[in-house]
Amino acid sequence: RHAAPWYLAGLRLWLALALVVHAGWLALPEPQVLLPLASFAALPPASAALYALLMLAGFAMPLVSLLAILGLQGAMLMGYGAGLPLLAMATLGLFIAHGSGRASIDAVIAAWLQANVLRDAKPGMVPDDWPHVVIVGGGFGGLACALALRRLPVRITLIDRQNYHLFQPLLYQIATAALSPADVAIPIRQLFRADGNVRVLLGEVDRVDAAQRTIGFGGNALAYDYLVLATGATHSYFGRDDWAPFAPGLKRVEDAIAVRAALLGAFEKAESCGDPARARRLLTFVIIGAGPTGVELAGAIAELARHGLEHEYRSIDPADARVILVQAADRILPAFPPELSAEAAHSLERLGVEIRLDARVTGIEAERVLIGEEAIESETVLWAAGVAASPAGRWLNAATDPSGRVTVDPCLRVAGQGNVFVIGDAAASLGWQGK
């Protein structure tokens, strides 16, 4: 990382010296075995002199190198020269891939652009008159917004109740002991350490005053010029919040760790309980909801039971575990094309997962799940059936859909509030056909 730019600068000087000699501007004693004169034998002296000046200055080296390769190879194909040897093309290719190096005009131009156009400012260089953009939420939406704006002349404050970005699609792998929590949690501050116009705050926002253009979090107030709410969604039990203690969802690292403890604990309890009836209940895992999270959980638990824990127990066989996937719709993964749903169902069934379609949960208790009138004995139930948006709509007193998502225009703006945007799972954005 440190040596390569200087190596490129030295390489430029070496090639420039060869071009100067080839152009006849400099005479060196024979033999000149250390200069790649043969590589440029087909280059006219005038062109060699121009290339030498550009290489010495380190100006537009990727373009200059590309033109040299294409020009000499094109001349060879037309019968006007010998072209470039392969080693010379590979050497020029270094400049195409990595630029001119540190001691070059290109580096000076890049530094100027960075300071004056790209606005990669140091903390003490950020003017107070730059617009203040407050982004609430460090998930996919909030992080993408901050990364896209960080090189513009704006001040950015990113607020999240955690100081890390969570890659939620892999939470199920933590829940099934395939990954460590550190594998899916990226410190937010680390991503913006070189961006002096980005400030990261730890806090949970609880109010928005659109009239005063302020937000509140933990007793603090913060003024904004533009507000982006990327507050995501949480579990929805469809009005049955009393089920939550018996059927945890999977939205946070803490949820995944708790689910992992429950899953592995079920096998441990079944090994030691000495009661076949309770062991069967412990080894019955019910996942409610067959969207992506439910399908991934069901497959991962089945793989864990049949392969990951093989030969590790003496009183039980983990492969005897029942994994039941319950879906209220007529197919799993209803947001996907039917042929993909069918293929996924086939894959799950090969793993031994029982799929219950058109099945509605009517009750969840500590040791059983009611599906219609049927009772399934289980001590481990996982919820993946539905989500509800964050309270952003209530903060803004804005129109929402039945799931609580804020209705926004095609630019993701809140109606009547041109400087407030809602993005991601918190937004109800209508597409081209109003869907």
Under DSSP, is residue 247 helix (H, G, I), strand (E, B) or coil? coil
- Token couple for 133: 């953009």
**Catalytic (active-site) positions:** 296
Whole-angstrom Cα distance, residue 413 to residue 391?
16
Sign (positive or negative) of CA dihedral 154, 147, 252, 185: negative
Is residue 135 within 8 Å of 145, Cβ to Cβ?
A: yes
What type of residue sits at position 312? Answer: E
What counts of helices (H) and strands (E) characterise the chain? 13, 22
Helix intervals (H) in 180-319: 188-191, 253-273, 276-282, 292-303
- Token couple for 363: 């009750």
Whole-angstrom Cα distance, residue 154 to residue 132?
6
Closest CA to 269 of 260, 278, 259: 278
Residue 99, Ramachandran bin (φ over 0: left; ψ between -120 and 50: alpha; else beta): left
Cβ neighbours, 10 Å, residue 192: 19
Whole-angstrom Cα distance, residue 56 to residue 66?
17
Whole-angstrom Cα distance, residue 16 to residue 37?
11
Helix intervals (H) in 357-426: 392-396
